């Protein structure tokens, strides 16, 4: 695995096999315990996806619609900004977030990847506010400046279908990165024997935070 910046230590864990139709990862909750939920994450058709929030009283509210592939999401450390991936737009968007109401507004483009290349997929945010964005079919996770949207670091992996990432381990100092094997030909799988595995990256010099608990 290659990277920009300091050296990192990478280990690999065995994947947990779930349903072959399991396409929608469990979304995180905000500090008030509200859970956003992407709809139709596997639909490859423009403007068919949506983003909903599930509140502690089990009320569901639509936050955004006419999305392509509604995907990764997380919040800034001060919970005032909400980040959301639309994979079919090859984009990461930022919104103003009201943590008390669980609402978003003022969408703006933070990161635009070249169309037809690697898609942004899952993401997470470290305690310094940087975004870590998994790029499926790109074999990498990129670190993004939350103020400028510029790429400030890259982690490269020996698999092409990098799907998501999150911080964990002692003090949340390790980055766990998932990958997929679906969609690869037999020849590609021979060239990527670790496809579908989970990787742990240590020594990044940054930390994540514990997930918030859904109140419902």
Residues classed as catalytic: 121
Residue 152's SS3 state is: strand
Closest CA relative to residue 147, chosen from 130, 125, 135: 130
User: Cβ distance 81 to 97 under 8 Å?
Assistant: yes
Q: What does the DSSP 8-state code read for residue 10?
A: E
Please state, in angstroms and rounded to a whole number, the distance separating the CA atoms of residues 166 and 183. Answer: 23
DSSP secondary structure of 51-90: EEEE-TTS-EEEEEEEESSEEEEEE-TTSSEEEEEEGGGT
User: Cβ distance 38 to 27 under 8 Å?
Assistant: yes
Please state, in angstroms and rounded to a whole number, the distance separating the CA atoms of residues 87 and 46. Answer: 10
Q: Is 169 left (phi over 0), alpha (psi -120 to 50) or beta?
A: left
């Amino acid at each position: 695995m290659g990277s920009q910046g300091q050296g990192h230590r990478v280990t690999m864990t065995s994947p947990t096999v779930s349903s072959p139709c399991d396409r929608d990862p469990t979304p995180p909750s905000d500090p008030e315990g509200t859970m956003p939920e992407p709809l139709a994450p596997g639909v490859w058709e423009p403007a068919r996806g949506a983003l909903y929030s599930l509140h502690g009283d089990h009320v569901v509210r639509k936050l955004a619609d006419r999305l392509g592939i509604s995907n990764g999401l997380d919040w800034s450390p001060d919970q005032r900004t909400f980040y959301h991936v639309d994979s079919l737009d090859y984009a990461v968007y930022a919104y103003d977030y009201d943590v008390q109401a669980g609402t978003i507004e003022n969408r703006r483009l933070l990161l635009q990847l070249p169309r037809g290349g690697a898609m942004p997929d899952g993401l997470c945010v470290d305690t310094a506010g940087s975004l870590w964005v998994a790029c499926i079919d790109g074999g990498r996770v990129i670190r993004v400046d939350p103020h400028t949207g510029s790429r400030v670091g890259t982690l490269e992996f020996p698999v092409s279908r990098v799907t998501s990432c999150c911080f964990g381990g002692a003090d949340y100092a390790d980055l766990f990165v998932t990958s997929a094997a679906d969609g690869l030909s037999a020849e590609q799988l021979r060239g990527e024997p670790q496809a579908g595995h989970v990787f742990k990256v240590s020594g990044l010099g940054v930390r994540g935070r514990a997930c918030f608990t859904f109140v419902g």
